[in-house]
Amino acid sequence: MTRTAHPRLAIIGGGPAGLMAAEAARAKGATVDLYDAKSSVGRKFLLAGKGGLNLTHGEAPARFVERYGTRKDEVKRWLDVFDADALRAWSSDLGVETFAGSSGRVFPKDLKAAPLLRAWLHRLRASGVSFHMHHRWLGWQAHGALHFATPQGERAVPADAVILALGGASWPQLGSDGAWVAPLQQAGIDMAPLQPANCGFELAWSEHLSSRFAGAPLKSVVAHWTDRRGVAHARQGECVLSEYGIEGSLIYALGAELREQLAERGEATLRLDLVPGYSESVLANRLATPRGKHSIGDWLRRRAGLDAAKCALVFELTAKSTLADPAALAAQLKSLPLHLRAPRPVAEAISTAGGVRLEGLDENLMLHMRPGVFCAGEMLDWEAPTGGYLLTACFASGLIAGRGAARWLEK
């Protein structure tokens, strides 16, 4: 890093992780400059809050940390510093009270992201954080200064410490485009390839299903799958039929396993129980009753409780001979196979897996190979399902990096 007359911390990226890093570092007395490629900060944060900002989740800590999969041990150390309760208290301190919904998800009482972001930015500016917009980071210059592209041309900025909080590669139109990968690779930083997380999966739908039922929800279903170790799993929830395949919170929750199976084997199968309220034998008996003049679709609605979307999915994936056999049909409804073809592209995903490997960072999230450079947020190699887990870990990692950078500057 380059040295300045008055030690300065440069934070690159104005999402939740970068803003929290700025707040934490400024609270420790660091002089903070925050740079972002866009004209305003928090764009993905605002978009995520359009349907109701899901800040965190109210479930027990032991269950909460399990949501981080293979990185749960590392993320637990972040959450030990700043957990869901701390995030709710922080929001309250900004004047934004929260509540937990019936699913355990935690939202601001007005469900909006904008009031929270406005209050937060007001506090950051009042504390002395300086914001520099339209600064796209290009890497480091030969003498160690930060290299930015700006509307006025390229600019070199000296800094005594840096926090990179550049997001992943999803929703590139909002700034998280993964362009930071190249300069970090050139600097020799070890990274896991960026991959889509919390994304939909492609299936070979007919034109009829994709055109008529895209956007239709599949409510109260149970997904069954076998992981790469051969262990069977089941999870209840909701998903959504899409033009290309299937998406939704249930799919996102097990997306990491499905993505890895597709990468390793070229295939992944998910089985849906469309009628978890009936056992297979009871369902077979209900379907065996003579249906008279009722169509098979009407019969499935009456005897199995299927709506139009579920019926369409059954007709899409079920042979006529099975439809005519009550026992075979009951088995199909309890274990409807979805043969996934591929995850959707990373640019369409809600979040990103992969990034800077955590093994290359110390406990303060500073790069071993580049002292004085810290990383935070989604650009790190971890992932989590939707439900508030993503934001909580982004906030926590930003806090740790901000405090760590401030301590490093003190030395």
Domain extent listing, the chain: 8-196+349-410, 201-343
Query: DSSP state, 242?
Result: -
Q: Which residues pair with 340 in a beta bridge?
A: 268
Helix H or strand E encompassing 352: strand 351-356
CB-CB neighbours of 187 under 10 Å:
13
- Please give the Cα distance from 7 to 18 (Å, whole number): 19
Q: What tokens were used for 89?
A: 């208290």
Backbone CA torsion sign across 398, 182, 169, 233: negative
Q: What tokens were used for 244?
A: 């290309």
Q: Roughly how many angstroms between the first and final C-alpha of the chain, as a whole number? A: 14
Distances (CA, A) of 81 to 187, 292, 373, 396, 399: 30, 65, 21, 7, 8
Secondary structure of residue 187 in the 3-state scheme = coil
Q: Tell me, what's the pLDDT at 4?
A: 56
Distances (CA, A) of 349 to 56, 80, 191, 386, 393: 19, 28, 19, 11, 18
Q: Tell me, what's the pLDDT at 292?
A: 83
Q: Tell me, what's the pLDDT at 51?
A: 79
Pairing of strands 8-12, 161-164: parallel
Q: Tell me, what's the pLDDT at 341?
A: 96
Pairing of strands 31-35, 336-340: unpaired
Task: Please check whether residue 252 is in contact with residue 199, taking contact to mean a CB–CB distance below 8 angstroms.
Answer: yes
Q: Tell me, what's the pLDDT at 1?
A: 61
State the Cα angle at 252 between 248 and 258, rounded to 5°: 120
Closest CA to 31 of 57, 4, 71, 55: 4
Residue type, 226: T
Q: 């379907």: which residue's tokens?
A: 287
In angstroms, how far is CA 238 from the centroid of its own chain? 17
Q: 């998903």: which residue's tokens?
A: 239
Q: What is the CATH number of domain 8-196+349-410?
A: 3.50.50.60
Q: Tell me, what's the pLDDT at 48?
A: 84
Report the predicted TM-score, pTM, of the whole model to 2 decimal places.
0.92
CB-CB neighbours of 300 under 10 Å:
25
- Please give the Cα distance from 204 to 338 (Å, whole number): 10
Residue 387, C-beta contacts closer than 8 angstroms, at least 6 positions apart: 54, 57, 67, 103, 104, 105, 249, 253
Q: Where are the alpha helices (DSSP H) in 266-295?
A: 280-288
Secondary structure of residue 266 in the 3-state scheme = coil
Per-residue model confidence as pLDDT tens for the chain (411 residues):
655 556 899 999 999 999 999 999 999 999 999 999 999 999 999 988 787 899 999 999 999 999 999 999 999 999 999 999 999 999 999 999 999 999 999 999 999 999 999 999 999 999 999 999 999 999 999 889 999 999 999 999 999 999 999 999 998 988 889 999 999 999 999 999 999 999 999 999 999 999 999 999 999 999 999 999 999 999 999 999 999 999 999 999 999 999 999 999 999 999 999 999 999 999 999 999 988 888 999 999 999 999 999 999 999 999 999 999 999 999 999 999 999 999 999 999 999 999 999 999 999 999 999 999 999 999 999 999 999 999 999 999 999 999 999 999 998
